[in-house]
């Protein structure tokens, strides 16, 4: 397989990426942290290819990226008021919500009853997601290898194994997202990242006011 690299601002970049995705292919693209490797979230064949390409264990679930909070009910069940409030306040941005997995989401994405969901704050990622719909996305590297911050990094690790790389320049890297478990009666912060525990607590407190 030949891996094609296309500038993300090329007029045919998004249409070509959609064609690849709709034919069970994989696309790498920049996010607000590292370059991600993605497939359509409801395409189990393509999602399985992510595991194979990365050498990733099936015990590790793959996150779902969305274009905006309104898509959350498509991939998660029992979306509570707290989860939706956090999504509307902090998305797009470094917040991952752990939610009950919607029955329509293939087990290839997560063999657990839960999934992690996020909206990345990056124009290339958002444009692709706006057109493609929910995507299963993980870092575009071999499992355990260095996180890719450029298209060249992706090509060095995954060249010949994926179909397309959208080159959107240097990804910023940075601190991993804040993770909030929204599967119980009250959201619980599992990992504090760029969004602080105080910010999360303050936003949730507005529900009771």
Q: Which domain holds residue 47?
A: 4-208
Closest listed residue to residue 99, CA positions, set 133, 137, 43, 61: 61
pLDDT of residue 1: 87
Q: Is the pLDDT of residue 157 over 70?
A: yes
Going edge to edge, which strands form the sheet with 188-191?
4-7, 164-167, 27-30, 35-40, 135-139, 63-65, 114-118, 95-100, 178-181, 188-191
CATH code, domain with 138: 3.90.870.10
CA distances in angstroms from 188 to 98, 147, 178, 205, listed in the order given: 10, 28, 11, 13
With bands split at pLDDT 50, 70 and 90, how would you rate the model's confidence at 206? confident
pLDDT of residue 195: 95
Maximal C-alpha separation, the chain: 57
pLDDT of residue 77: 93
pLDDT of residue 174: 87
Locate all alpha helices (DSSP H) within the chain, ordered by sequence: 13-22, 44-54, 72-75, 81-90, 123-132, 151-158, 197-208
Q: Number of folded domains in the chain?
A: 1
pLDDT of residue 189: 95
- Which helix (DSSP H) or strand (DSSP E) does residue 165 occupy? strand 164-167
Q: What is the pLDDT of residues 39-92, one digit of tens each?
A: 999 999 999 999 999 999 999 999 999 999 999 999 999 898 999 999 999 999
pLDDT of residue 208: 58
Q: What is the pLDDT of residues 5-15, one digit of tens each?
A: 999 999 999 99
Q: Is the pLDDT of residue 190 over 90?
A: yes
Beta-carbon contacts of 185 under 8 Å, excluding residues fewer than 6 positions away, are: none
Q: What is the pLDDT of residues 102-155, one digit of tens each?
A: 999 999 999 999 999 999 999 999 999 999 999 999 999 999 999 999 999 999
Q: Is the pLDDT of residue 207 over 80?
A: no
Q: How many CB atoms lie within 10 A of CB 63?
A: 21
Asked if residue 63 lies in contact with residue 116, where contact means CB atoms within 8 angstroms, the answer is yes
CA distances in angstroms from 175 to 10, 33, 79, listed in the order given: 29, 8, 26
pLDDT of residue 153: 97
Q: How many CB atoms lie within 10 A of CB 152?
A: 14
């Amino acid at each position: 397989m030949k891996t094609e690299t296309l500038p993300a601002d090329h007029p045919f970049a998004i249409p070509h990426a959609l064609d690849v995705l709709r034919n069970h292919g994989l696309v790498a693209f920049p996010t607000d942290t590292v370059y991600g490797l993605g497939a359509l979230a409801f395409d189990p064949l393509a999602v399985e290819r992510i595991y194979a390409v990365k050498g990733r264990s099936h015990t590790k679930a793959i996150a779902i990226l969305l274009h905006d909070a309104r898509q959350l009910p498509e991939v998660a069940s029992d979306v509570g008021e707290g989860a939706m409030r956090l999504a509307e306040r902090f998305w797009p941005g470094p917040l991952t919500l752990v939610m009950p997995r919607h029955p329509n989401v293939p087990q290839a994405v997560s063999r657990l009853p839960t999934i992690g969901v996020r909206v990345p704050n990056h124009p290339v990622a958002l444009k692709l997601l706006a057109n493609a719909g929910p995507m299963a996305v993980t870092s575009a590297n071999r499992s355990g290898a260095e996180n890719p911050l450029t298209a060249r990094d992706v090509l060095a690790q995954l060249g010949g194994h994926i179909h397309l790389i959208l080159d959107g320049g240097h990804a910023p890297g940075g601190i991993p997202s804040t993770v909030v478990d929204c599967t119980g009666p009250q959201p619980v912060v599992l990992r504090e990242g760029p969004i602080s525990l105080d910010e999360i607590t303050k936003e949730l407190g507005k529900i009771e006011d």
